[in-house]
Structure 1
Amino acid sequence: MHSVMPPDSLPLRAKHPTRHATVRRDLLCVLAITALAGVLFARFDFSEFAYHWTRSAERFQLDELPGTLFVLATGFAWFAWRRYRESQQELARRRTLEEEAERLLADNRRLAMQALDAQEAERRHLARELHDELGQYLNAISLDAGRIRDLSAQREPEVHRLALALMQSANHVYREIGGMIRRLRPIGLDEFGLPTALEHCVESWRERLPQASFTLTVDGDFSELTDALNITLYRLVQEGLTNVSKFARASRVEIYLVRAPEEGNRAGEIVVTMADDGPGMDLAKPRRGLGLIGMRERVEALGGEFHIASTPGNGFLFCARVPAQAGDPEPSEPAKSEN
């Protein structure tokens, strides 16, 4: 998994590569100014002038002032050197802490991605079990009940009624299991790809929210994405539509899924944007829900960026940008065993 680190989190050493050169330059400036002052003092006989000026105040011992000032300057120099060393030590400690924080952040994102992968794998397994096992037996129950209904239609009205009730129960359970399977694993994602799965998802929301208007635009090739990237993009749209059902049930919703091609040394990326013209929200106020936080975590775990924009009365928009190769194992990672 590739990870993109934001510029603000780079170590101080990388952000300030000329710090030592600046220190050397300042030291050279101080030495140059000192040498220039020495030349000027020698040229204009500064010591003689100072002696002539302080001779009238001999009783105040002003002629001893240069020595006193020298001791004071030496003390200030020592004080400045001590503060400089302490600041360097503090910077070194901060660099160490920043590097440790970056490492922990990378580990946290890697663990979050592994947790999402494990969750999706478990969902995929459970969806298959529900479909293959329970679905098969429910179909058998429905067929047997239909046979009982046909045989008892003219003979036993009570048996006929019970057979109809059994068929209705089996159909109800089958529909409920179908809904569970769709929530656990997007229909068509593994077989037909991301665009088809998104079209099916949007179509289901058209049926649930007939007063809303949905538009889905897909541009680019999405045939060779990793499973982690596919499921992340799908969950983003799914969560966005869930938010529409909660806060903007009668709005116009526009969804864009675009894959930008590679340009030179710049790797391609995928951009997902969803916008509605609903009531919007005040982003400055704290939010209780975790949906947007989960969306941001999913995107950043793949090294992408997630942004939202909204104001009260002006709708809501989110935009996610994810590297097209996100979810690929890093070259340093060992290949998983087939066992």
Structure 2
Amino acid sequence: MTRRRLVRDMVRIRCVEEELGDVYRDEQEMRTPVHFSIGQEATAVGVCAALRRTDVIYGGHRCHAQYLAKGGDLTAMVAELYGKQSGCAAGRGGSVHLVDRAAGFGASSAILGEMISVAVGAAWSFALRGEPRVAATFFGDGASEEGVFHESLNFAALHRLPVVFVCENNQYSLSSPQAARQPAGTSISGRARGYGMPARRVDGNDVFAVFEAAEEAVRHCRQGNGPYFLELDTYRWREHVGPHWDYDVSGRSKADVDSWVARCPIRRAVETLSDTDPGITEQLAVWQREFRAELHEAVAAARSSPFPAVADLLTGVYES
């Protein structure tokens, strides 16, 4: 994995989500709630770059970046946002229920913390079958307050399962800051260590640091040493759900958001590479044009695709 490739993948996610946000806002044709990862691209890219295609990941509601970083099909993702039959979940799930099993994106869900246990189940199956595969699960700081978080960490540590827990700590759960929800003097990674697993807290806006930490975590799991926990400090620029900025509406001030925008993971990565890769700035502009055009091609394909047939409404629904 080259450093340039890490930057490229972040730029692709940023361009896709910014363009999607504009289309979502202006068209009013996508009726699914959307949770954008604009500003958080380094976490998904850094972790997924350390995984093999045969490894699997599971995400929560803010899952576009993880899906794309793992190699999920963009056209199928956009069609899913439009509720079309060609969507990755056949138009049934929308933005928060993405899936691409061929790419190793197992599933995502809007239920807080749900996919943590599912990833542990996948890791348990790998261990029982003796397969050299790793499961990873992405979740936010708010999910660390759910019971399933603690149950899953305990079970994974007890059975030494090959699962990487990835907490994208973006400092807020909806509009509630972490300091208002969790005791002073504690940390999420510290709680993970309490279950006997190694845990690292990393600057989640430094894609190179995330990649290095993820490589260590994945190696630890693949060698049969049990689970590993990563707490990645980052920040979402847009509102919790939707394409807009939310200064002073969610309790976050413009100054606070601006301070994190100044720590943009793409800008920081480009600055880091500029001395050893002098062409990176020019390449950045090429990528931006390429990926914005790619998104609009996917939008055009989604618009022309049919909606699911009414006769198939109950296809895939479990009936007892």
Choose between structure 1 and 2 for higher RCO, CA contacts under 8 A separated by at least 6 residues: 2
Greater fraction helix = 1
The answer, yes or no, to whether TM exceeds 0.5 is no
Which one has a bigger Cα radius of gyration?
1
TM-score for the superposition, normalised by structure 2: 0.26
